[in-house]
Amino acid sequence: MARLGKNLLDTGDRFPELDLELISGRTLKLPQEFEEGYSVILFYRGHW
């Protein structure tokens, strides 16, 4: 697979551990909260 940078995930790579604070104030721990089955994660930067 063609890679544009050093920090991209490739097939078979593990998702990095992240703690994301949601708008509700809850903290979402990845990938622990999505260990079962498949998941899609979308990051939306909003309007600048």
Q: What is the pLDDT of residues 13-41, one digit of tens each?
A: 888 888 988 889 999 898 888 777 787 87
Q: Give me the mean pLDDT over the 5-17 stretch.
A: 78
pLDDT value at residue 26? 93
Residue type, 2: A
* pTM summary value: 0.51
- pLDDT for 43: 76
**What's the confidence (pLDDT) of residue 48?**
66
Give the chain's end-to-end CA distance (angstroms, integer): 32
Question: How many whole angstroms separate alpha carbon 31 and alpha carbon 37?
Answer: 11
Phi-psi group of 45: left, alpha or beta (phi > 0 → left; psi -120 to 50 → alpha; rest → beta): alpha
Q: What is the pLDDT of residue 33?
A: 83
